[in-house]
Every structure is written in structure tokens, then in C-alpha cells.
Amino acid sequence: MTAPEILVLGSVNRDLIVHAPRLPLPGETLRGQRFGSCLGGKGANQAVAAARLGARVALAARVGLLENGAAMVAQLQGEGVDTEAIAQPVDEVPGVALIVVGAEDAENQIVTVAGSNGTLPLDQVEALRLDGLRWLVAQQELPLASVARAFERAHAAGVKTLLNAAPFRPGCEALLPHVDLLVVNALEAQALVTTLGGAAASPETLAHVLRAKGPAAVLVSLGAEGLCWVDADGARRVPAREVRAVDTVGAGDTLVGALVTALAEGQPIADALAFAQAAAALAVSRAGVQDAMPRRAEVEQLLAMN
């Protein structure tokens, strides 16, 4: 494989997905409509999304070989993801995510168990090869100390960093000085600002507050309302494309993978945001997570219809 230009440091899970008429209430039992199992984890999802869109991408992760972990790594390789930096401990269990998708509004509930994701050590981070990279991407399903050290190394090497601060975790605000691009949804943005002592506010205001803590740019995703982008040139809104939402699981990961692909290619910000929005729109219009992630030709076709 040609040397990667994007390195995703992130989690790899086995997703167990139940589709139900709607999301259950606390203490309620519902009869599900169907069940499926697939490769997931925010790190794996973002790497696959980028690879399907033509990026040269590698994934640094930790996948335990118990419970068929080797098949998960092989699936990533089949998607064109460089897996050289994935540690494969023989005595650990890979991460698991339990997901319920409601047919009423395509919303979801997710519970994750870290498994081997929670044991990614600093010495694995120190061994990461950063030569030739344009972007290092991370989320928050790994130990935050490992993410922080990876970002420190990336900045020292002249590699730009993207933090998808999801899921929200207390203490993640300490990462912000090492972040070039912060990607959050509205709830995560509000949680971060609240942790920093701020109050409830508009997405633009939240983004400005977060940008003042270090990132050169902040993207707040707003679901069906599109996204808000704030950088040195100010704030802009990008509306979402109108699609019939079937399954929103993985839409945020598709957005991140598409955005970093476009930025690594040197696309102007406006074009990169449109590219990312188009990819996410295609993803939510289909069932599944990685199965729903589009190929490059599909995104370009949708953009051409604008």
C-alpha cells in the first residue's frame, strides 16, 4: 500500500444492532424487528469512510483476538485500510457496542464496552510512524492520555490534528490546545462549554468559545439542520441535504472521514464541507453503519445534482 496521508487513532468494535419500532423507555421491553452484527467503533468507522472515498488511510488501534478479533482486522484490510499499526493481543476481547435503532425517527441509543480499546498504551503511541502524514484523527473511545500524547507528537512533526470529541468524556477539554480541528455535535459542544464554565448558547457561540481554547477551526454538526463551521474568517452555516433518514448510526463518523479526506486533498473549506455533508446524507439514507458509507463516485454524483 502507498504510504498513508491520514492516520486514524481510534476504537474498533463489534457492533450488535437491534432495530425496533422506536427507542425503548426506561424499564420497557420492546419486540425488535431485526438484528445484525457488523464491524464498528468510531476509529474503524472513520477510517473505512475515508478509505471508501479514496483516501490513503491507516488505523492505529488495539484489537483483542478473542471473540474473533482477527476477522475484524481482516475486514478493515478488505476495505483498503492500512492495519500495520493495529496491535492484536491474543488474551484480550475486542470492544463491543450495543445499538438500538428506532424506526419512528431513525434515532439511536448506544452502549459501548471498551474491551481492548481501553488498554491502548502509551508505548504503542510512541511507536506510531508520522512521516508523510497530513492529518492525525482521534476520538474519545480510547484512553485520553494516549490521545493527548499522539496529538503532542503530531504537532511536533508538523501533522495537523482532528479531534472528534465523541463520546463526551470529562477531562477531554485538556486536549483542546493540541487540536487543529474540533468536530462535535450540538450536545457534545454544550457539554464541553459547560465543563469550561460556560452556559447554554447557540451553536455559533459554542463554537467560538471552544475555538478560543486552541483549535484553529470548530465544526458543530446539527443533524437535519446541517452544520456550523467557525474559523479565523468567522462563522458559516451549511444546510443539510434533504434525504429520508433511515439510520443515523455512523453518520457522524462518515462526516469526519469525508471531511478529513477532502482537507487532505487540499479542497477549499466550502467544498470540503459540501463533500462531507453529501457523504453523510447518503449514509443516513441507508440502513447499517459501514454498509451505508458511500463510495467516491456516489458522493460526486450527488454533488453534481446540486
SS3 231: strand
pLDDT digits over 83-136, tens only? 999 999 999 999 998 989 898 887 888 888 999 999 999 999 999 999 999 999
Indicate whether 1 pLDDT > 60.
Answer: no
Q: Is 188 exposed, middle or buried (0-12, 13-18, 19+ CB in 10 A)?
A: buried
Annotation marks residue 253 as catalytic: yes
pLDDT digits over 218-270, tens only? 999 998 899 999 999 999 999 988 888 877 778 999 999 999 999 999 999 99
pLDDT value, residue 75: 95
Indicate whether 200 pLDDT > 90.
Answer: no
pLDDT band (50, 70, 90) for residue 285: confident
pLDDT value, residue 186: 95
Q: What is the pTM of this model?
A: 0.92
pLDDT value, residue 241: 86
Distances in whole angstroms, Cα of residue 11 to Cα of each of 19, 48, 131, 151, 277: 23, 12, 22, 16, 23
**Angle ∠(73,183,277) on CA atoms, nearest 5:** 85
Q: Which of 15, 82, 180, 253 is catalytic?
A: 253
Indicate whether 273 pLDDT > 80.
Answer: yes
Q: Provide the mean pLDDT of the chain.
A: 94
